[in-house]
Structure 1
Amino acid sequence: MTVLDMREVSGGYSTKEDTIHEITLSVKEGEWLGLLGPNGAGKSTIIKALLDLLPVKRGEITLPGPEEYAFIPEHPIFFEDLTLWEHIDFMRAVTGLDEEETTERAEYLLKLFRLTKVRNHYPTAFSKGMQQKLMIILALTAKPKLYIIDEPFIGLDPKAMKDLLRELEAERERGACVLMSTHVLDTAEKICDRFVLVNYGTIIAEGTLDDIRRESGVDGSLLDCFDELMTEEEL
């Protein structure tokens, strides 16, 4: 079953010029889709369009209800006057999650990501990596149908990266799906089922790794294929 669907979505930050052009993509139950491209390719803009944060957009977007998807942003967003645990409590209250189940899940994730000792501290005093872990814990605690993740690995230590990937894989096994934007192609190649490669706000290739290899004419890694496709675009 398709959980997320974008059809011919174009738009930008003003009416004068589009930043993304006729973007069409979908994510099915249990699937991990990698939204890939260099810095400035339009990945974050596509996510803003999905979340209805892009001022000007056209096309059709189908998402589950707000309580059924979670967004992990590239730059952590939090309330300055709430502690880490108060963020979890606030999320639970807004989404209507069961208190006992939420507490048990959150306690497990705090221990996994080594934040138990700072549960009553304010995130303003955290490092970038710790703030990112808070965003991850909030999303994973909610157990939504869909995870929308923008550059999740920035600021994370190797153990936290591995723990995040393991938890998301477990979520996929229960049927959740993931849309992940990243420019870390070697990691994406190992974990994603399909890929959408973007440059200058336009999709330049999509499909499985075998599809991308056929389209690029390169029988190599995802990075090799992307490099070839980028070179063709510049010629």
Structure 2
Amino acid sequence: MLEVTGLTGGYKADVPVIKDVELTVQAGELVGMVGMNGAGKSTVIKHVLGLIEPLAGTVSLHGETLASNRALFRSQIAYVPETPKLYPELTLREHLQLTAMAYGLDEAVYEERSERLLQIFRMKDHLDAFPGTFSKGMQQKVMILCAFLLQPALLIVDEPFVGLDPLAIHALLELLEEMKAQGTGILLSTHILGMAEKYCDRFVMMSRGVVALYGTMDEMRAQSAMPGATLDELFVRVVKESSQ
């Protein structure tokens, strides 16, 4: 579904942050992207979203690129950023309504999905409150509500667990599993390796702007000649090798 091929890019034309990145996300699959801070994870995500123009390589979704069909490409993606980006003058209700209108969501579908999500994340009592009155975790819940409202073909989540309480983390993980079962492809960037190993189908391990390991746990163990290794052990091995 999502195919990233030979992706090289960054924030300056002469200083690439990521180099020759290759990855795929299939329908109904959860792919975990892990790596140290500064390894290039967020840069990859920004390229996939079309927020940065690549220096080389392609990003396609169901065979379409941002250049070939911008509206169709972006309409298939929902994104939960690491840092919530909200409109201070809009209430929670208005954030949800704006999201539904922007993506042409049917009113009946909107009502059904929003009611369920608000109940799951215990935000129904805050519908008419403004983001400035919310904690960091509550602001993150607003981003999650908007993304899951859409039920997109591809969901990209960047460090979504930061600031969430244990109940919200549990609810988010259950919803990720539910969306997988419905055919959504998910790209998840996270530092919580134990959780990633439990829930992700495949992995992209970034180090210094390149893909150091890629595939299922068994495939990455074979690449590292570390049979039986945990994701944490593979991660430590990659970090140590990259620093030598």
TM-superposed CA distance for 1:232, in Å, is 2.2
1:60-209 pair list within 5 angstroms: 60-63=58-61, 65-209=73-217
Q: Counterpart of 1:34 in structure 2: which amino acid?
A: G
| Structure 1 stretch displaced more, 220-229 or 51-60 | 51-60
Q: 1:198 is paired with a residue of what secondary structure?
A: strand
Q: 2:212 is paired with a residue of what secondary structure?
A: strand
Query: CA offsets per residue over residues 8-64 of structure 1, 9 Å max, x none?
Result: 010111122100011111100101100110111110011011111125532111025
Query: CA offsets per residue over residues 170-214 of structure 1, 9 Å max, x none?
Result: 111111110011111111000000001001111001010011112
**C-alpha separation in 2, matches of 1:232 and 1:215:** 14
Match of 1:223 among 227, 232, 241: 232
Query: CA offsets per residue over residues 119-142 of structure 1, 9 Å max, x none?
Result: 110112211100000000111111
CA contact (8 A) 2:3 2:61 kept: yes
**C-alpha separation in 1, matches of 2:152 and 2:50:** 18
Change (3 A) 1:87 1:157: same
**C-alpha separation in 2, matches of 1:124 and 1:63:** 35
TM-superposed CA distance for 1:67, in Å, is 1.8
**C-alpha separation in 2, matches of 1:31 and 1:55:** 26
Match of 1:232 among 221, 238, 241: 241
Partner in structure 1 of residue 45 of structure 2: 47
Q: 1:14 is paired with a residue of what secondary structure?
A: coil
Q: 1:82 is paired with a residue of what secondary structure?
A: coil
**C-alpha separation in 1, matches of 2:154 and 2:81:** 14
**C-alpha separation in 2, matches of 1:206 and 1:162:** 27
**C-alpha separation in 2, matches of 1:124 and 1:45:** 28
Q: Counterpart of 2:231 in structure 1: which amino acid?
A: L
Query: CA offsets per residue over residues 61-101 of structure 1, 9 Å max, x none?
Result: 10252222100000111111110010111111111111111
CA contact (8 A) 2:4 2:59 kept: yes
Q: 2:161 is paired with a residue of what secondary structure?
A: coil
| Structure 1 stretch displaced more, 151-160 or 47-56 | 47-56
Q: 2:144 is paired with a residue of what secondary structure?
A: helix
**C-alpha separation in 2, matches of 1:63 and 1:98:** 24
Q: Which structure 1 residue ranges, 5 or more long, are not aligned? A: none
Partner in structure 2 of residue 21 of structure 1: 19
Which stretches of structure 1, 4 residues or more, deviate above 3 A after TM superposition?
none
Q: 2:55 is paired with a residue of what secondary structure?
A: strand
**With structure 2 as the length reference, what TM-score do the two structures score?**
0.92
Q: May I ask how many residue pairs the two structures share in their alignment?
A: 233
**C-alpha separation in 2, matches of 1:56 and 1:144:** 24
CA contact (8 A) 1:14 1:56 kept: no
Aligned-CA RMSD value = 1.1
TM-superposed CA distance for 1:114, in Å, is 0.8
